[in-house]
Amino acid sequence: MLSPVLALAASFALASAVTITDIQGPAFRSPFEGKTVTDVVGIVTAKSTSGFWIQGDAVSDDRVSNGLNVFTTSTTILDKVAIGDSVTVSGKINEFRTTGSGDLFGTEIEPSSSSDVVVGKKGNTVTPLVLGVDRSPPTQSLSALDVGPDGFLSVPNNQSLVESVNATLQPTEFGLDFWESLEGQLVTVKSPTVTDFENDFGEFWVYGDWPVTGQNSRGGLTMIFGPNGVPDANPEVVIIGQPLDGTKSPQVAVGQKFEDITGVVFQQFGFFYVMPLTAPKLASSPSFVAPVTNITASSGACQVTIGDYNIDNMAPNSTTLPQVAGHIGTNLKGPDIMFVQEIQDSSGPTDNGVVDANLTMQTMASAIMTASGVEYTFIDIPPVNDQDGGEPGGNIRQVYFYRPDIVKLAGTSPVGTALESTSVITESDGSLGLSLNPGRIDPTNSAWDDSRKPLVAVWEPVAEGGERFFTINLHLIAKTGGTSFEGDSRPPVNEGIQQRTAQVTEVANFVKTILAKNENANIIVGGDCNEFTMTRSVFAPFDDILTEVDVLANIPDVERYTYVFDQQNEQLDHLFVSSAIAGRTVQVQHVHVNQFAETIDDRGSDHDPSIAKLEIC
Ligand SMILES: *[C@@H]1O[C@H](CO)[C@@H](O)[C@H](O)[C@H]1NC(C)=O
Ligand SMILES: *[C@@H]1O[C@H](CO)[C@@H](O)[C@H](O)[C@H]1NC(C)=O
Ligand SMILES: *[C@@H]1O[C@H](CO)[C@@H](O)[C@H](O)[C@H]1NC(C)=O
Ligand SMILES: *[C@@H]1O[C@H](CO)[C@@H](O)[C@H](O)[C@H]1NC(C)=O
Ligand SMILES: *[C@@H]1O[C@H](CO)[C@@H](O)[C@H](O)[C@H]1NC(C)=O
């Protein structure tokens, strides 16, 4: 038995023997959370205005990081440490996140006074771990907790919390586990490729020289299915934070390559970051010329070209209007019918009771004429003021721009109003029509609360010998307010998913009323669906009645995208067709006029337009 004095000495020795790897441990949360530890030894690898990072000896267990953030805003402490210093730090171990944020925790040690940080030998070097050489991120799943057939897109959402489960890490399997296992460590990302434009803080997503999935021809990563049939969450990308030395990163574009980036892995704002020691340097850029579709004009009464474009809060005086007009007239070569979303009323976002969009639509049609010589006329149904969501006062709505030399609205029914519901009718000559053309689907149904109602129309070609076809222009409820893909809630919260599913169900039911009268009816449904078809639960109501044109045209999975957000390129905009059209030739192209831009500010809209050429007889 030890004497009391020796026992005390032994416990001091134990306390002072706490290492960074002891503090990090193999799980999401530190075994020392809430405890005060003394004399943790490490070498300073990086500094910020709110602390610095230290790195100690590694252990052979890949689950355990040997880096740690020292949180302090004390200038006395910050002024006395420099990169390369050997230091001992005492302080409290916190798992920190902004209260109520739903982020993962970041592990930190917080010294309580200047004497808690003691500087020893200077000029030490820490060799960064080279990602892609020493360790590579997994490429499919973010978390073991993303259970369900649609992986991280499964419903119900938020069935468990990473930080409550506090699992031991599986860094070769799951992205959150991988990045957590490197938390606080100095790493190098070799030959990074950019996968998104920078955010408002100048931060941007990259993958390095390591295996990736979903790589598209631009160099971005597209959200696709994994080999196991589950949506792939692209955990192999990481966000590059603001440079720690106060320099500024350049603006970035999808597909650009940078020189190697060295920095520390850090958890903040709902994501795992690499915080670069200094501003990354651009190595190469792809072409920024806006592509032009190679889909040619329709010919004859049996062909129609359909464009689809969310033009992002377009007001009559929007600076982006001439550019978007050029996209429609020139880059899409003036499709016969454009499904447009986000036309604002004639007073733009001014919340003054104006709901008609005549000025906005006329300004757009004139600009398309100026840009390309293509003549469009247009039709919409103004919403009830401030009842369809979007920017307050903007009254965004779907509009059809169409070429009066090629197509016309079929039949003699009147145009619907905001609260009237259209229905399928059989006209005196036996052809199917609409009681209101165009009209809205069941606009007072709660599925459409604070959201855009579908705009349904029935058309016929101007040329003799064609057939009628129905179109449904959609702008489903937005995702705004969901949780980060790298956040605590698993599966992540997909805001609006219940309402979006109800909206798809309503649209499917309407399509069924057409098909009940004629199973060979030509029906084209689409627009900004604010959802990926990989969230299969949302689109399940379409399963037996509509097929996406991308599938019919065999567009490679990695080229199916119209948007870029956080980690990846993704498809929010879709066109679906009934079996009559699906059985004939289908061409489609997503024309990346905006995702191929040189800067985020050079874009005409946040979405890319698409064009399809379809046979209606
Ligand atoms: C998390 O797991 C670690 C390692 O198993 C354990 O030491 C720690 O106490 C756990 N923390 C919480 C809050 O569950
Ligand atoms: C997720 O569920 C937890 C309860 O398990 C709850 O506290 C939290 O607010 C939920 N998060 C979101 C974003 O709904
Ligand atoms: C258009 O170009 C793409 C490649 O960008 C090609 O795959 C496709 O076959 C072309 N389509 C037509 C109609 O020429
Ligand atoms: C458009 O007009 C509105 C209202 O007159 C004004 O507030 C806004 O600044 C204008 N926008 C541009 C881009 O000129
Ligand atoms: C907008 O145009 C429609 C159709 O031409 C017309 O009926 C309506 O009076 C116009 N509204 C305004 C406010 O000019």
| The CATH number fitting domain 127-286, selected from 3.40.50, 1.10.3470, 3.10.20, 2.40.50 | 2.40.50
Q: What is the CATH number of domain 303-615?
A: 3.60.10.10
Q: Which residues are within 8 A (CB) of 5 and not within 5 positions of it... i.e. 6 or more apart?
A: none
pLDDT at position 17 is 81
Q: Where are the beta strands (DSSP E) in 348-421?
A: 377-379, 397-402, 407-409
Distance 346 CA to ligand 5 centre (A): 11
**Which two structure tokens, joined as six digits, stand for 584?**
């004939």
* Alpha-carbon distances of 551 from 259, 334, 501, 556, rounded to whole Å: 37, 24, 21, 9
DSSP H helices in 150-194? 162-165, 175-180
Distance 591 CA to ligand 4 centre (A): 29
- For Cα atoms 173, 258, 54, give the angle at the middle one, nearest 5 degrees: 60
Give the CB-side neighbour count of residue 356, counting CA atoms within 13 A: 4
Distance CA 590, CA 598 (A): 18
Give the number of the atom of ligand 3 that is nearest the alpha carbon of residue 291: 5
| Residue minimizing CA distance to atom 7 of ligand 1 | 31
Secondary structure of 313-368 as H, E, C letters: EECCCCCCHHHHHHHHHHHCCCCCEEEEEEECCCCCCCCCCCCCCHHHHHHHHHHH
362 lines ligand 4 (CB under 6 A): no
Distance CA 129, CA 263 (A): 10
Distance 359 CA to ligand 5 centre (A): 9
Q: Which ligand has the nearest atom to the CA of 349?
A: 4
Name the stretches of the chain with pLDDT < 70: 1-16
Answer for the pair 595, 586: CB distance below 8 angstroms, yes or no.
no
Question: Whose CA is closest to 374, among 308, 319, 328?
Answer: 328
Q: Which fold has domain 4-119?
A: OB fold (Dihydrolipoamide Acetyltransferase, E2P) (2.40.50)
pLDDT at position 200 is 97
| Residue minimizing CA distance to atom 14 of ligand 4 | 317
Distance CA 449, CA 435 (A): 23
294 lines ligand 3 (CB under 6 A): yes
Give the CB-side neighbour count of residue 232, counting CA atoms within 13 A: 24
Residue among 356, 363, 377, 400 to mutate when testing ligand 5 (max atoms within 8 A of CB): 356
SS3 at position 558: helix
Question: Residue 351, Cβ neighbours under 10 Å: how many?
Answer: 15
Q: Which residues are within 8 A (CB) of 512 and not within 5 positions of it... i.e. 6 or more apart?
A: 545
**Which two structure tokens, joined as six digits, stand for 143?**
């978390």
Distance CA 207, CA 223 (A): 14
- For Cα atoms 42, 44, 48, give the angle at the middle one, nearest 5 degrees: 135
Answer for the pair 240, 197: CB distance below 8 angstroms, yes or no.
no
Answer for the pair 550, 529: CB distance below 8 angstroms, yes or no.
no
Residue among 312, 317, 359 to mutate when testing ligand 4 (max atoms within 8 A of CB): 317
DSSP H helices in 65-213? 75-80, 162-165, 175-180
Residue 525 burial (10 A CB sphere; 0-12, 13-18, 19+): buried
Q: Which ligand has the nearest atom to the CA of 295?
A: 3
b vs e for 491-504, b when ≥16 Cβ sit within 10 Å of the residue's Cβ? bbbbbbbebbbbbb
| Residue minimizing CA distance to atom 2 of ligand 4 | 317
Q: Give the residue extent of every domain in the chain.
A: 4-119, 127-286, 303-615
Q: Which ligand has the nearest atom to the CA of 556?
A: 3
Distance CA 535, CA 525 (A): 18
Sign of CA dihedral 546, 547, 549, 550: positive
Ligand 5 site residues (CB inside 6 A) read 356, 358
Dihedral pair phi/psi, residue 515, rounded to 5°: -65, -30
320 lines ligand 4 (CB under 6 A): no
Distance 270 CA to ligand 2 centre (A): 15
Question: Residue 131, Cβ neighbours under 10 Å: how many?
Answer: 25
247 lines ligand 3 (CB under 6 A): no
Distance 158 CA to ligand 1 centre (A): 21
DSSP H helices in 28-124? 75-80
Fold matches, 4-119 and 127-286? yes
Distance 317 CA to ligand 4 centre (A): 6
Dihedral pair phi/psi, residue 103, rounded to 5°: -80, 170
